[in-house]
């Protein structure tokens, strides 16, 4: 018998289909414009249902599955004068498989364009990411596939608030599931972070020159956290500098290069105590053998490309990351930890309203020395996903996909996950 929560998720998807069918002639065909065009409103409702992901291949940094997502979003843009705009997006997200809900301002920033005839603007607040391309394509209306690239979603064993005392402790974390425990820093069990997150915006200031259709564009930002752990969550010393340069060498092609660097680990990790796995409270803790003497950063590089011709569109993105861990004892990991994620995808519109898509994805990790030999510090992951998107009406998109994930370590090393998604937008 199907689980009640799975039935609930399927009911949510079917409800969107019914609502869209009933209101096809009522829903607005584009964003709502009020006050003479100074205020525009838009919204999105997305429901996704899939079997339980026991291997947690699709778990996000909100501790829910990207394949069991229920999301409500409203976007508002208010332009009191010609070159000033206030942009806000409010989101409420839950899990069609069961789990906690979150409601927060996903984006909230002011955008200023000082010169009317120049493509130059400044944004301040909770702003969209500058780094890479996939982080700005998180909206269901821009994707054929339901899943996300591994570099932007898959949780590694690294945490911002706790670190392993040695290489052996880090390597053992590969088999502990979604929640990891380390002997230095926070005593709680918690999940790690991705190379870059597609589910959170950071707080800061951004400068952008050039538009989407111009031959050359550039953007830079100073934000509170890193691309894998935005400042409101990481509570580190920050800030982070990120930048992206994009060019359009020929019609239909975009190539971008990105860089980001910021402090990754929480400030209090350096002064944390060492605990054995059996320590029940602070009286059993011992002071760390050494403390850090500097800033320990996450440094990332990215390359992204897109090419479209006719009904075909191809995308590829490479994200690399390098972390320096705090020195907390004589056996601390001294060499940097490295990782790289590569995703290649394509889509083809085979019929009006019908689009096929596929993506192949690989997330790899550098090797470190330990008593187990020289091994990867986390388990490499490979993902293949294929699917179809159907624009049922102008306001409704229905997707179906099948995802296959595999990794070299862990209790669940492979999974085949079908998924169904409906997105209603206005």
Q: What is the pLDDT of residue 284?
A: 40
- pLDDT digit string, tens, across residues 167-219: 999 999 998 877 889 998 888 899 999 999 988 899 999 999 997 778 999 99
Q: What is the pLDDT of residue 278?
A: 42
Is the model's pLDDT at 279 over the cut of 90? no
Is the model's pLDDT at 24 over the cut of 70? no
- Alpha carbon distance 325, 229 (integer Å): 15
Is the model's pLDDT at 136 over the cut of 60? yes
In the predicted model, what is the mean pLDDT of residues 339-348?
A: 98
Among the listed residues 386, 368, 388, 385, the one whose alpha carbon sits nearest the alpha carbon of residue 377? 368
Q: Which two tokens stand for residue 19?
A: 């609502």
The pairing of strands 216-223 and 102-112 is unpaired
Furthest C-alpha separation in the chain: 69
The confidence band for 248, taking pLDDT boundaries of 50, 70 and 90, is very high
Residue spans of the domains in the chain: they are 4-425
- pLDDT digit string, tens, across residues 361-388: 999 999 999 998 999 999 999 999 999 9
Q: What is the pLDDT of residue 286?
A: 44
pTM of the model: 0.87
The confidence band for 29, taking pLDDT boundaries of 50, 70 and 90, is low
- pLDDT digit string, tens, across residues 4-13: 445 555 545 5
More confident residue, 3 or 407: 407
Q: What is the pLDDT of residue 235?
A: 57
The confidence band for 234, taking pLDDT boundaries of 50, 70 and 90, is very low
Mean pLDDT for the chain?
Answer: 86
At residue 294, what are phi and psi to the nearest 5 degrees? 155, -170
The third-level CATH classification (topology) of the domain covering 4-425 is: Porin (2.40.160)
User: Of 32-41, 160-169, 265-274, 353-362, where does mean pLDDT reach its minimum?
Assistant: 265-274
């Amino acid at each position: 018998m199907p689980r009640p929560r799975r039935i609930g998720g399927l009911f949510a998807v079917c409800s969107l289909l019914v609502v869209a069918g009933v209101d096809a002639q009522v829903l607005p065909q584009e964003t709502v414009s009020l006050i003479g065009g100074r205020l525009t409103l838009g919204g999105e409702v997305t429901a996704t249902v899939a079997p339980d992901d026991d291997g947690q291949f699709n778990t996000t940094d909100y501790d829910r599955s990207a394949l069991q997502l229920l999301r409500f979003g409203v976007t508002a843009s208010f332009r009191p004068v010609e070159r000033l705009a206030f942009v806000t997006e409010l989101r409420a997200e839950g899990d069609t498989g069961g789990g906690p809900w979150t409601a927060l301002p996903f984006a909230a920033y002011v955008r200023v364009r000082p010169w009317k005839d120049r493509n130059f603007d400044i944004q301040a607040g909770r702003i969209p990411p500058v780094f890479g391309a996939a982080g700005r394509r998180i909206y269901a209306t821009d994707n054929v596939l339901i899943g996300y690239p591994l570099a932007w979603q898959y949780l590694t064993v690294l945490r911002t608030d706790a670190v392993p005392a040695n290489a052996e402790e880090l390597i053992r974390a590969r088999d502990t599931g979604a929640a990891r425990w380390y002997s230095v820093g926070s005593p709680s069990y918690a999940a790690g972070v991705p190379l870059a997150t597609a589910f959170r915006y950071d707080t800061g200031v951004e400068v952008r020159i050039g538009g989407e259709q111009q031959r050359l564009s550039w953007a830079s930002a100073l934000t509170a956290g890193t691309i894998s752990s935005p400042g409101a969550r990481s509570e580190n010393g920050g800030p982070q500098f990120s930048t992206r340069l994009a060019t359009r060498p020929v019609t239909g092609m975009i190539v971008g290069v990105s860089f980001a660097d910021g402090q990754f680990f929480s400030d209090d990790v350096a002064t944390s105590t060492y605990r054995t796995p059996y320590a029940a409270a602070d009286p059993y803790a011992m002071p760390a053998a050494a403390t850090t003497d500097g800033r320990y950063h996450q440094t990332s590089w990215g390359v992204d490309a897109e090419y479209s011709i006719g009904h075909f569109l191809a995308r590829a993105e490479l994200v690399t990351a390098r972390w320096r861990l705090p020195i907390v004892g004589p056996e601390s990991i001294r060499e940097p930890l490295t990782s790289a994620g590569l995703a290649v995808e394509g889509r083809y519109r085979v019929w009006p309203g019908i689009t096929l898509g596929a993506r192949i994805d690989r997330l790899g990790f550098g090797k470190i020395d330990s008593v187990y030999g020289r091994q990867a510090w986390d388990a490499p992951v490979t993902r293949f996903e294929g699917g179809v998107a159907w624009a049922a009406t102008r306001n409704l998109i229905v997707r179906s996909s099948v995802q296959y994930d595999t990794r070299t370590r862990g209790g669940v090393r492979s999974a085949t996950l079908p998924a169904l998604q409906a997105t209603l937008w206005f």
